[in-house]
Amino acid sequence: MAGAGPTAVLSSGKKMPLLGLGTWQSTSEQVINAVKIAIDAGYRHIDTAWVYGNEKDVGQAIKEKIAEGKIKREDVFVTTKLFSTFQRPEHVRDAMMQSLDGLGLDYVDLYLIHSPQGLKYGSNPFQHSGDVEDLFDEVDYIDTWKAMESLADEGLAKSIGVSNFNTQQLERLLQNCRIKPAVNQVELHPYLAQQQLVDFCKRNDILVTAYSGLGAPARPRRAQSGEEEPVLMEDPTVVEIGKKYGKSAAQVLIRYHLDRGVSVIPKSVTPSRIQANFDVMDFSLSKEDLTSLGQLDRKLRYLGANLFTTHKFFPF
């Protein structure tokens, strides 16, 4: 994975580039374009999910770059996620096959349980108008995990992991697994530093990946309600630190994650931003600047805090 930027060795023994491209909330055309530009810019890690509805686009862009001779399959680390409606063990392999089919790949590098909270098979939480609890499935993520382990045994997923798990859920999973989760992907940024969770993961050799690592300025809740929340990329501390290094707020935030030993997957469909977000290998933040960023923590969760709060596995 030459040129991929810093990498981590996962508990599975596989290498994962720490900086990847996020692909949530983009049109088909945008994703194809974004992934191709990202690969040209040096990214070797792409994050998608079945529920984003764009695995086909991610796969097409990768296929085009392989056909061009720019990369080989093994040069790019592809992550996708098992959606909550497939959480019963008997649906896990079918979900994996659907994702592989969409991506046009024989294997993914990392397959994550998208959330500890199972939802009823066949339900559609995005078009549900009744009682939200009607969507809930009692399935235990420990049982889901056993089916995930079988996918790893088969080589369909080179590494397996989780997303949106809290410390207690990880602890329980660690006590009941044969293969350890290699990654926990969670919302993480200076306003939601989650130091305890990050420390727990480090102690247990679980790599943390930060989502919404730039503060998710386009998140649906904000767009829909117009509610005012602090904008991380406009935070004076972040902006001032950027000035010192001649870097943008986004670049400072990306570097904050990398310097914390955390993986980060900033999403952009804007060519100049995709390129700029990768242009962070020529500096690192001083201890003092990392401390200043650490002091911005206000336990502000931009995403998901108000979803499914009564589910028995609600993690936040």
Ligand X SMILES: NC(=O)c1ccc[n+]([C@@H]2O[C@H](COP(=O)([O-])OP(=O)(O)OC[C@H]3O[C@@H](n4cnc5c(N)ncnc54)[C@H](OP(=O)(O)O)[C@@H]3O)[C@@H](O)[C@H]2O)c1
Q: Which spans of this chain sit near ligand X (rule: CB under 6 A)?
A: 22-24, 47, 114, 163-164, 185, 211-218, 233, 248, 250, 265-270, 273, 276-277, 303
Annotated active-site residue 245? The verdict is: no
d(CA 194, CA 197): 5
Determine the residue with CB nearest ligand X: 22
> For residues 10 and 216, which CB has a smaller minimum distance to ligand X in the complex?
216
Min dist CB 101 to ligand X, Å, is 20
- As a whole number of angstroms, the distance between CA 263 and CA 210 comes to 6
* CB nearer ligand X, residue 153 or residue 270: 270
Measured from the CB of residue 277, what is the shortest distance to ligand X in angstroms?
5
**Identified catalytic residue from 52, 141, 211, 302:** 52
Residue 262 C-beta: closest distance to ligand X, Å = 13
Q: Identify which of residues 81 and 91 has a Cβ nearer to ligand X in the complex.
A: 81
Burial profile 269-278: b = 16 or more Cβ within 10 angstroms, e = fewer: beeebbbbbb
Q: Which is nearer to ligand X, 216 or 285 (CB)?
A: 216
- Residue number, 72 or 253, with CB nearest to ligand X: 253
Rounded CA-CA distance 181/174 in Å is 8
The minimum distance between CB 217 and ligand X, in angstroms, equals 5
Shortest reach from residue 69's CB to ligand X, in Å: 27
Give me the residue label for tokens 């078009």: 127
Q: What is the DSSP string of 75-136?
A: GSEEEEEE-GGG-SHHHHHHHHHHHHHHHT-S-EEEEEES-S--B-TT--GGG--S-GGGGB
Q: Distance between CA atoms of 145 and 95, rounded to whole angstroms?
A: 14
Q: CB within 8 A of 255, min separation 6: which ones?
A: 247, 280, 283, 284, 285
Instruction: List active site positions.
Output: 52
